[in-house]
Amino acid sequence: MKCLLHVGVVAAVLTISSAGLACAQSGPYPASDLHQLYQQLLGKINAIPLYDNHAHPGFADDPDVDAMAAPPEESSVLRLRDDNPEFVTAAKSLFGYPYDDFRPEHAKWLADRTNAAKKSGGSAYFDQILDKLNVETCLANRAFMAPYLDTKRFHWVFFGDSFFYPFDNRDQTASTPDMGVYIPLQEKMLMRYRKQMKLDGLPADLGGYETFVRNTMAENQKHGGVAMKYEAAYFRSLYFSDPAREKAEAIYAKYRSGGVPSAEEYRIFQDYIFRLMVDEAGKLKLPLHFHTAVGIGDYFSLRQGNVLNLENVLRDPRYKSTIFVLVHGGWPYEKEAALLTAVKNVYLDTSFQSELLYPSQFKDILKQLLTLFPDKMMYGSDAFPFSDALGAEESFWLAAHTTRTALAAALAELVSERAVTQDKALELARLYLHDNAAKLYRSVSTGGTK
Ligand SMILES: [Zn+2]
């Protein structure tokens, strides 16, 4: 490609660009400055405050950290097993943990500390975790918020899946051992929403149920909800058809007072209610979050959970005022997810990838994402209280550490290969780690979508 810069402009650019990349020509290999660039960028990246688009902050014994629970059989990936020595490093870095392993007599030191924080109440404990990791704001994807989370720093993301399960769910519950755990929790969640909205039984007709769904969304938003999340990929396909209202109305009338819907009838009803929620989310300026990655448990369907199943909804012009966020960035279909963020109202975050993958692996993914739609990607941790040893605290640390080092490495390569300047690299880092999310949630809270 021809260089379009004139000589005079070149001189001007050289004086303002630290990398001096006028007539830049990218190459396939990094130059010898790679490691030096990495160190320089990492120092600057560490100083950028994080805006965490997705986490489950809380203590390990708090059932509200999620609307679902771990399935009965779960094969943990290598990095998230209890014996990962990085968790010891995390505990040392966060709390000055004095031991080199989590042997029970040592782990007690951490458990005592956590229990003391729990007893003392107040919100200082989790605020301090954010401060230590230079996290400015964190979205808390929880069933309900906890009094020990500071709502100035932790913004609530509530769940929408329970609206899918108003009928007799015995067939759903019996379909796999995992659904045997998940569905009763959805029923419980729906009961809590009904109680919140002072609804004794199910409304008499579909119109009443629609009002209940819309009003609960609006009320949760009023109570501080900044987005609504679907874990639907765990329960069903992410492909949602577009059924006529009459069909959903007939199914509601048939099963409202009892009887077990067929799988097909339930799916049609859910597809209809889903689209109603997408429509309402657009009106409320309430972003929708979707679990889009492989999930835990032996029965998670990779095919049904593939982010491409959402394409018909994401590209539907009727929903262009609804903001969609592809949480976990679609992994292992992260390229597909990234390409879907070409749609103006579609974003992604890289939560969970930053815990599951080591920095060297995550670096390659970030390098790709940064060169596609860097104004649509957001940082996320998916921090979760896995156990007493691996608390939300340690997983916050793991995600922040992985992301900052992988990002510095990805950008160092791009600078060293003369693809972008160092200034541009830092601009991309700020967008991803903080600014894209800050702008998105500020725009919806002020009622605009621009
Ligand atoms: Zn999550």
Q: How far does residue 291's CA lie from ligand 1's centre (Å)? A: 7
Q: How far does residue 342's CA lie from ligand 1's centre (Å)? A: 24
- Kindly list the strands in the beta sheet with 135-141, ordered across the sheet, starting from the edge strand earlier in the chain: 50-55, 135-141, 154-159, 225-230, 288-291, 324-327, 346-349, 377-378
Give the containing element (helix H, strand E) for 139: strand 135-141
How many other C-beta atoms can be found within 10 angstroms of the C-beta atom of residue 15?
A: 8
Q: How far does residue 56's CA lie from ligand 1's centre (Å)? A: 6
Report whether the peptide linkage leading into residue 98 is cis, meaning its omega lies within 30 degrees of zero: no
- How far apart CA 251 and CA 266 sit, in angstroms, is 8
Q: How far does residue 273's CA lie from ligand 1's centre (Å)? A: 23
Report the phi/psi class of residue 224: left, alpha or beta, with left for phi > 0 and alpha for psi in -120 to 50.
Answer: left
Phi first, then psi: what are they for 93, rounded to 5°? -65, -40
For the chain, report the end-to-end CA distance as a whole number of angstroms.
34
Q: How far does residue 290's CA lie from ligand 1's centre (Å)? A: 10
Per-residue pLDDT of the chain (450 residues; tens, 9 = 90+): 444 444 444 444 444 444 444 456 899 999 999 999 999 999 999 999 999 999 999 999 999 998 888 888 778 899 998 889 999 999 999 999 999 998 989 989 998 988 998 898 889 999 999 999 999 999 999 999 999 999 999 999 999 999 999 999 999 999 999 999 999 999 999 999 999 999 999 999 999 999 999 999 999 999 999 999 999 999 999 999 999 999 999 999 999 999 999 999 999 999 999 999 999 999 999 999 999 999 998 999 999 999 999 999 999 999 999 999 999 999 999 999 999 999 999 999 999 999 999 999 999 999 999 999 999 999 999 999 987 667 999 999 999 999 999 999 999 999 999 999 999 999 999 999 999 999 999 998 765 433
Q: What angle do CA 287, 277, 239 make, to 5 degrees?
A: 90
Q: How far does residue 352's CA lie from ligand 1's centre (Å)? A: 7
> Which pTM does this prediction carry?
0.93
Distances from the Cα of 14 to the Cα of 1, 5, 6, 22, 91, angstroms: 20, 12, 12, 7, 45
Q: How far does residue 73's CA lie from ligand 1's centre (Å)? A: 18
Which two three-digit tokens encode residue 69? 């629970």
- How far apart CA 376 and CA 423 sit, in angstroms, is 19
- How far apart CA 334 and CA 293 sit, in angstroms, is 8
Q: How far does residue 31's CA lie from ligand 1's centre (Å)? A: 38
Q: How far does residue 321's CA lie from ligand 1's centre (Å)? A: 25
C-alpha closest to that of 277 among 344, 232, 246, 336 = 232
Q: How far does residue 309's CA lie from ligand 1's centre (Å)? A: 19
